[in-house]
Structure 1
Amino acid sequence: MMKGEEMASRKDKKGRVLQKGESQRKDGRYHYAYTNVAGKRCFIYADSLAELRKKERDHQVASWQGATRYGTQASLNYMFDRSLALKVGIKESTYASYRQSYDNHVREEFGRQAVKNISYSDIMVFYSYLAKSKKLALSTIEHIHLQIYSALDLALQDGMILKNPSDGAFGAFRRAMGDDARKIRALTLDEQKRFLEFIDGHPVWGRYHSIFQVMLGTGLRVGELCGLRWQDVDIENRLVDINHSIVHIKAVKGESKDHMAVSLPKTKAGIRQVPLMKPVIEGFMEEYRWAQAKHFVSETIDGYTDFIFTKMNGTVYTSNRLDKALSDIVKAYNKQEEAVAELEDREPEVLPHISNHMLRHTFCTRLCERDVNVKVIQTVMGHASVNVTMDIYAEVSKAKQFDEIDRLADELDVF
């Protein structure tokens, strides 16, 4: 007997043909069997065939509309939390990074929407809002996109939606923003000099001089800088060992407060030795005198202690604290500069918005400007891929073309 004939011959006790998945039990009741997207066998029961088929239709309609055991109104927040809970084996710092990024920029606004109501254009509008209104960098938006995509992909796998509306959204958004959106601004030499001169000895911001001088002279990631211990610095041989970083872990339900944690490098490239130039050594010595004055008080984090850059109470600095300090310093500088410029009847030379990552990028840019070997730059910066280094090198080279042409014109002096 052929398969089609076997299927057609399946009937209930009244001789009615049963469709695929339908069966009649010995007690006369009916059930419909199906397999959900997770591969689990599920059943729908009814007292009559008519009732069963109505339930089948309701189930099919509900599946197409996004109804599941989570409910038709499951929010993006719910699916994000669920997707994050399923990420087993990731480092605590990575977990915290995912959650903090989402909580800071998605949860209170966009995340409240039901996943079945979110469209491709909704996501594009949201990314545009993050870029234009919240002034987020493209790399930050990409990080947020990965969290949204993961949440919606889980909703897709659970049968809540028919298509992931975020699929391809970030790529399209990046193209729409253009190449400029990908660039991270570096401080010019003049801006770097004015910034450091302003905070050097300043009654309010002087405390940060050594911190930012070291950042600008080493290109360390902010977590690497905050995690530095005195034993990591070799002044005699002018080297600093980078083998861990400090991350800020936000409190979750059941925890009373945030805490700091030690994170080991994600790639081998992150473990490295960075040469120290004279101004950086001076920055460390300045910090040593500060530490002496407060008797080298330092907290202990995951067994690590004797941290270099600490506050008066011995606690380490956080990325947010240093970013806030940079923002306040720029505001103070620009306010002073605008007042002086008005008195001198000239245009003010204000500083741009500065972030921790901008200081790291500035150091890398200085190396590229001096045509340092690309592999050397990659090693010093701890870039896992040389492509990251090459992108910065290419941008600097493009700018240098104009400088070289102008210099040639000055030297020829025949035009």
Structure 2
Amino acid sequence: MANKTKSEKNKPKRKTLRADEYYNSKTKRYEYHYKDALGKERVVSSYRLEPTDQLPKGKRSGKSLREKEAELKVQLENNIDMDGAKLTLLEVIDRYLKHLYNRKELTHNTKVGYNTTIKTLAQYKLGHMEIGKIKPEHCEEWLSDMKKKHRGSSIQTQISLIKRSFEYAIDYDYIVKNPFRRITTDKSDSKKMEAISIRDMQRFLEFCSKDAHSAHCYDMIYVLFWTGLRVSELCGLTLDNIDMENHLIRVEKQLQCINHTHVVLPTKTINGTRYVPMTDGVYECFQRILKNRYIMGDIEPVCYDEKGKAYEGFVFLATRSRKTIVRSHVEEYLQNCIKRFNNANSDNPIRKFEPHICRHTFATNMQGLPPKTLQYILGHGNIVTTMNNYVSAKPSEQQLVEINLLAASINTN
């Protein structure tokens, strides 16, 4: 029997094709012709008809035509938008966020958080994959890679947005299932913010009050420690927010830096609008702050909100320029004071901390207040946030003193 020619060797064995299945002799691929949910003519192809077929030499492996047909059947039965399924995950997130922004107002910080998620996801393969091709194993691989560089709380924030974007894709018939449904992570590996001890707080404040280079920051830092204000809320205080007669601070706005411009924004949440009582120490600080407040050239710094409304009379101004300050300025002042304190107390330094730790310290020191009262003062919508995220357990020596005082009062009664 004569040997087969080269062309006959490469020619596949004749197979029984189903309706709408074809073999394209030019491309040497099997094809399936169909109409999508919108009636658009489409074609999928593969070098193999069945999963068990041998792949032609030198060709990349992929799903067989019959496997692709089975997936298409599910998609067609569920009216899946084929073009939507080809969008990348980043493109779907972009669509979801536009949809979300049209539905409700979101805070500046929330939007910044979403942008951070997008920038981070853009560094991973998952963000650039077609959403219809993403499987749970791809999501698990992403999670494994994320854990090498990011903390649990940061990862969970990203998971939340990605999950909601997949749900959006399901609602709009891009995909059938959410491959991120079972993806989660443990936030316990995140570093919890710990309050400064009462002793260290007192030592630090006393130093700031006496040190020639730190004294100008003393009242501001004292107010942060003893009011629990967010830094942006402190920066946003105007003269009409300070009720010296009733010893109250009206918190109704915040000042943040957006694109190098100081912008007045609403409070972080609806619960952020509140009255914060002044301790006697805070009252004395505001007496000095208001008495010593001055502006250069009698020109009040003016900031605007996102609607163009002007605000002036800001309580806290930069030491030299007398312009408004934002978080970065407060951070700089605080770090300089800590550095000076530690240089002067090298045998007993304090740890470095951010302005937000002052808020945590206030919450810890004031946990003797009724929980709902503390929740209101901090501007939280949920008592769980107050008790789990802000209140730290007091040091053992302080616990010992307090438990003995309580035991003594019970025995006395």
Q: Same fold by TM (over 0.5)?
A: yes
Measure how far apart 1:298 and its partner are.
Answer: 2.0
Task: Judge conservation of contact 1:68–1:158 (CA < 8 Å) in 2.
Answer: no
Tell me the equivalent position of 1:272: 274
Q: Identify the range of structure 1 (378-387 vs 324-333) with the bigger mean alpha-carbon deviation.
A: 324-333
User: Structure 1's 373 and 165: CA in aligned 2 closer, same or farther, altered over 3 A?
Assistant: same
Tell me the equivalent position of 2:247: 238
Structure 1 residue identity aligned to 2:202: K
Q: Give the alignment's TM-score, normalised by structure 1.
A: 0.66
SS of 1:86's partner is: helix
Tell me the equivalent position of 1:173: 186
C-alpha separation between the residues in 2 aligned to 1:90 and 1:258? 26
User: Structure 1's 239 and 42: CA in aligned 2 closer, same or farther, altered over 3 A?
Assistant: farther
Tell me the equivalent position of 1:98: 110
Does residue 262 in structure 1 map to residue 265 in structure 2?
Answer: yes
1:301 to 283, 299, 304: 304
1:388 to 355, 367, 385: 385
Does residue 199 in structure 1 map to residue 196 in structure 2?
Answer: no
Q: Deviations over 1:40-90 (max 9, x none)?
A: x251158xxxxxxx99986877999x996479683x544433332221346
C-alpha separation between the residues in 1 aligned to 2:73 and 2:112? 32
Does residue 367 in structure 1 map to residue 369 in structure 2?
Answer: no
C-alpha separation between the residues in 2 aligned to 1:306 and 1:83? 40
> Percent identity between the aligned chains?
22
Q: Which structure 2 residues correspond to residues 56-135 of structure 1 after superposition, within 5 A?
A: 69=83, 74=88, 77-89=90-102, 94=107, 96-104=108-116, 107=119, 111-115=123-127, 116=129, 118-127=138-147, 129-131=149-151
C-alpha separation between the residues in 1 aligned to 2:113 and 2:212? 34
Q: Deviations over 1:370-413 (max 9, x none)?
A: x2222222222222122333437985379565444678999xxx
Aligned-residue RMSD, C-alpha: 4.3
Measure how far apart 1:97 and its partner are.
Answer: 2.0
Measure how far apart 1:274 and its partner are.
Answer: 1.3
Q: Give the alignment's TM-score, normalised by structure 2.
A: 0.66
User: Structure 1's 128 and 384: CA in aligned 2 closer, same or farther, altered over 3 A?
Assistant: farther
SS of 1:130's partner is: coil
Tell me the equivalent position of 1:323: 331
Structure 2 residue identity aligned to 1:367: M
Structure 2 residue identity aligned to 1:86: H
Task: Judge conservation of contact 2:314–2:324 (CA < 8 Å) in 1.
Answer: yes
User: Structure 1's 62 and 318: CA in aligned 2 closer, same or farther, altered over 3 A?
Assistant: farther
Tell me the equivalent position of 1:149: 163
Q: Deviations over 1:281-318 (max 9, x none)?
A: 23223332443253463223232221112225454322
Tell me the equivalent position of 1:27: none
Structure 2 residue identity aligned to 1:190: R
Aligned length: 342
Tell me the equivalent position of 1:50: none
2:293 to 266, 275, 291: 291
User: Structure 1's 218 and 148: CA in aligned 2 closer, same or farther, altered over 3 A?
Assistant: same
C-alpha separation between the residues in 2 aligned to 1:361 and 1:144? 25
User: Structure 1's 31 and 72: CA in aligned 2 closer, same or farther, altered over 3 A?
Assistant: closer
SS of 2:375's partner is: helix
SS of 1:260's partner is: strand
Measure how far apart 1:224 and its partner are.
Answer: 1.8
Q: Deviations over 1:66-125 (max 9, x none)?
A: 996479683x5444333322213466652x323422444661575453433742242254
Q: Deviations over 1:328-367 (max 9, x none)?
A: 44344334433xx2xxxxxxx3322322321111111111
Q: Which structure 2 residues correspond to residues 331-410 of structure 1 after superposition, within 5 A?
A: 331-338=339-346, 341=347, 349-368=348-367, 371-391=368-388, 395-396=392-393, 401-404=399-402
C-alpha separation between the residues in 2 aligned to 1:328 and 1:60? 65
Q: Identify the range of structure 1 (223-232 vs 295-304) with the bigger mean alpha-carbon deviation.
A: 295-304
Task: Judge conservation of contact 2:272–2:380 (CA < 8 Å) in 1.
Answer: yes
Q: Which runs of 5+ in 2 are unaligned?
A: 1-16, 21-31, 44-63, 75-79, 409-413
C-alpha separation between the residues in 2 aligned to 1:122 and 1:97? 25
